[in-house]
Amino acid sequence: MDIAAFLTSAGINIGLCVVLFSLYSILRKQPSNRVVYFGRRLASVRIRNDDFFSIERFVPSPSWIVKAWETTEEEILSIGGLDALAFQRMLIFSIRIFSIAAIICVLLVLPMNYYGKEMQHKRIPAESLDVFTIGNVKEGSRWLWAHCLALYVISFGACVLLYFEYKSITEMRLAHVIKSPLNPSHFTILVRSIPWSPGESYSDSVKKFFTNYYPSSYLSHQMVYQRGIIQKLMVDAEKMCKMIIPVHIDGRSLRPCCLCARNTTSFKMLSSEPESVKDSVSYADLDIATRENECSAAFVFFKTRYAAVVATQMLQSSNPMLWVTELAPEPHDVFWSNLSIPYRQLWLRKIAILLAAIVFMFLFLIPVTFVQGLTQLDKLSKTFPFLRGLLKKDFMSHVVTGYLPSVILMLFLYTVPPMMMLFSSVEGHVSRSGRKRSAGLKILYFTIWNVFFVNVLSGSIISQLNVFSSVRDIPMELAKAIPIQASFFMTYVLTSGWASLACEVMQLFPLSINMFKKFILRNQEDSSDDLISFPYHTEVPRVLLFGLIGFTCSIMAPLILPFLLIHFFMAYLVYRNQILNVYIPKYEGGGHFWPIFHNTTIFSLVLTQIIAIGVFGIKESPIASSFTFPLVICTLLFNEYCRQRFSPVFQKDVVEVLMDMDRRDEQSGRMSEIYQQLHSAYCQIPITSHEFCESAQERHRNKIQDPQGINPGTELSEASETWAVVNFGKESPTTKN
């Protein structure tokens, strides 16, 4: 591909981005779209709904960019939680390291590449992109030291930045734990695989076991019930609600209480206000939550955080497949339907899903191979002769080679996240965050394999089937392939990168659903069911993929770096905006995507270095090659150090912190209040349209997320100052993903 074709592609994308961003700045001012673009804010504050007409509503404005830029980290943390902040730090890290890389590579490496060979240079626009890659440097050139130096600077910079980021995220994680003193998940463990004893119910077994082995710290427990029975309970509850509401208390929202251990078979209706708990009416036993319907899983509550962590760290039984304990997820984070999966199935499920994911990864090769075919015009016009006339036109051929492949690939890639999410659900994760993390990992492996490696390897001289048979030659082959594929990656950054950001900010799918509802179905009521949480499982792998492309291309084809930098900068603004306005945080993962980011970045660095060794080998520069070896070793050592120093904090809770929190709460006498909350925290009720249960808690959480009530609607009012107060009927967002 030459510069002109590339610029065509860039032009299309820049145009598209400008159009979409302008469109966004208009659409977001329309009151009918507020549920699409201000979901998070709507969930936390009430806004007037005066739908008056103004010309300003139809003028594009960059105010959202200014707003996103001005938001501080503290605000991000309080609004989106630690996960959102960690995601921000990923983008900031990427901007920083690729700024360094862009400066050194464009100033130092790019000229070396361009003048690397004695050749007749054409005018720049007609120049092939390959002239700017390392492929243009002649064998045995002494200028390769510049590449080696650039590699050293980038690796060193990346490691230093990674270290400080990891350190600060770790500290923030600890600080976050300390700052959330009322988190019921700290006091709760999930026990699975409770052994069946003939004379007893599971509930009795749990009580017996924990009163025996944790007599001083065991508080109570709550069984998990079969799904079917819970649904039946819900139906009954709804019936009862309809009967009771007018009689009992008018106006106040009601919630069915959870089935706590203390009175397992009773069903209570409690008002959501804590002070009315004592008034709760205890109904007769309903005969439904009987022992036949218990699962072999339970939530066990402890008196202190420390005791709960102790119980999860220990091997309870001499048969390690019985009494399996783990820390319970946050109440909103529990993935109830997986709790009833027998524990002994889990390892089989994991293996099956692993195999399924691998098969899926390889089946995906088919569309990718097809996409690769498109970049080779000759082949294409041979296969589809009717296209020949079309392809002869210069513009069309630029579009087909420069743009179409990435678009097709991107469309196929949209099927991946739901598939991986399904895989992770079947795998049996008990928490939504765990499921998302696992899906994120799968998507990451998938993306790196199918977008990066398959494109690199299938596009190059090596035929796909022989790739796997030669281990030793992989660095060489990669070194040959990457400069050749650089043009593909550059267009990929433009299309998948820039355009997907524009799509992200536009929220095309929710927007069209909203349009359909409002203008076709004429349903003017905003539904809070549409509110979703941040899709870390797709966005973190995307950031990482661009990081991988950036690192590997940095010294081979430095022309990609400015475009990548623009991408990361746009991403920074767009995601900030989305965190502020669109996505609601439903549970707190505690920055658990950071270790994945760290490890993958190290992988990218090491891969870059290995490819560099291959390149220096091809270019017959043994000195540069041998200078790169220590770099690989140092990077791996650095990673090992970080693994030792930081990652345990992401896997286990720290005694110091928990003890101090326990003591503080004991001294301040808040413990009994916490115990009260514990009993009703975990609520195994499928979230239907009647969400009594969560509304109170949700409202409470939203208060926390907007602590000083920062800008309660200031930006909303800027968009449309006179929206009326909308009572959603049931205003709490769902906990579906």
Residues of the shown chain interacting with a second copy in the complex, contacts defined by CB under 8 A: 170, 174, 212-213, 309-310, 313-321, 347-348, 351, 468-473, 637, 640-641, 644-649, 652-657, 659
Q: How many C-beta atoms surround the C-beta of residue 118 within 10 A?
A: 6
Nearer Cβ to a second copy, position 262 or 652?
Answer: 652
Nearer Cβ to a second copy, position 231 or 345?
Answer: 345
How would you class 736 by CB atoms within 10 Å of its CB: exposed for 0-12, middle for 13-18, buried for 19 or more? exposed
Specify the DSSP element, H or E, that contains 300.
strand 294-302
Nearer Cβ to a second copy, position 633 or 724?
Answer: 633
What is the nearest approach in angstroms of a second copy to the Cβ of residue 161?
A: 20
Nearer Cβ to a second copy, position 256 or 590?
Answer: 590
Instruction: Answer whether 671's CB lies under 8 Å from 677's CB.
Output: no
Nearer Cβ to a second copy, position 630 or 729?
Answer: 630
The C-alpha atoms of residue 553 and residue 547 are separated, in whole angstroms, by: 10
Specify the DSSP element, H or E, that contains 730.
none
Nearer Cβ to a second copy, position 363 or 465?
Answer: 465
What is the nearest approach in angstroms of a second copy to the Cβ of residue 342?
A: 13
Angle between helical axes of 594-618 and 144-179 (0-180°, round to 10): 170
What is the nearest approach in angstroms of a second copy to the Cβ of residue 314?
A: 5
Q: How many C-beta atoms surround the C-beta of residue 635 within 10 A?
A: 21
Q: How many C-beta atoms surround the C-beta of residue 243 within 10 A?
A: 10
The C-alpha atoms of residue 68 and residue 63 are separated, in whole angstroms, by: 9
Nearer Cβ to a second copy, position 160 or 348?
Answer: 348
Q: How many C-beta atoms surround the C-beta of residue 298 within 10 A?
A: 24
For 28, list phi and psi in degrees, rounded to 5. -70, -15
What is the nearest approach in angstroms of a second copy to the Cβ of residue 183?
A: 18
Nearer Cβ to a second copy, position 274 or 648?
Answer: 648
CA distances from 405 to 17, 417, 733 (A): 19, 20, 39
What is the nearest approach in angstroms of a second copy to the Cβ of residue 310?
A: 5
What is the nearest approach in angstroms of a second copy to the Cβ of residue 611?
A: 19
484 alpha carbon, distance to own chain's centre? 32
The C-alpha atoms of residue 624 and residue 149 are separated, in whole angstroms, by: 9
What is the nearest approach in angstroms of a second copy to the Cβ of residue 683?
A: 29
What is the nearest approach in angstroms of a second copy to the Cβ of residue 648?
A: 4
Sheet holding 281-282, edge to edge: 254-256, 268-271, 281-282
Q: State the amino acid at position 469 in one-letter form.
A: S
What is the nearest approach in angstroms of a second copy to the Cβ of residue 168?
A: 13
Instruction: Answer whether 55's CB lies under 8 Å from 22's CB.
Output: no
Nearer Cβ to a second copy, position 422 or 655?
Answer: 655
What is the nearest approach in angstroms of a second copy to the Cβ of residue 657?
A: 6
* Nearest residue to 166 (alpha-carbon basis) of 100, 95, 90: 90
- Helix H, strand E, coil C: the string for 669-697 is CCHHHHHHHHHHHCCCCCCCCCCHHHHHH
Nearer Cβ to a second copy, position 357 or 451?
Answer: 357
Instruction: Answer whether 100's CB lies under 8 Å from 157's CB.
Output: yes
* Nearest residue to 696 (alpha-carbon basis) of 707, 680, 685: 680
Which ranges of 414-526 does DSSP label H, i.e. alpha helix? Answer: 416-427, 432-447, 454-459, 474-492, 500-506, 508-515
Nearer Cβ to a second copy, position 638 or 692?
Answer: 638
What is the nearest approach in angstroms of a second copy to the Cβ of residue 348?
A: 8
What is the nearest approach in angstroms of a second copy to the Cβ of residue 592?
A: 16
Nearer Cβ to a second copy, position 472 or 522?
Answer: 472
E strand spans, 346-443: none
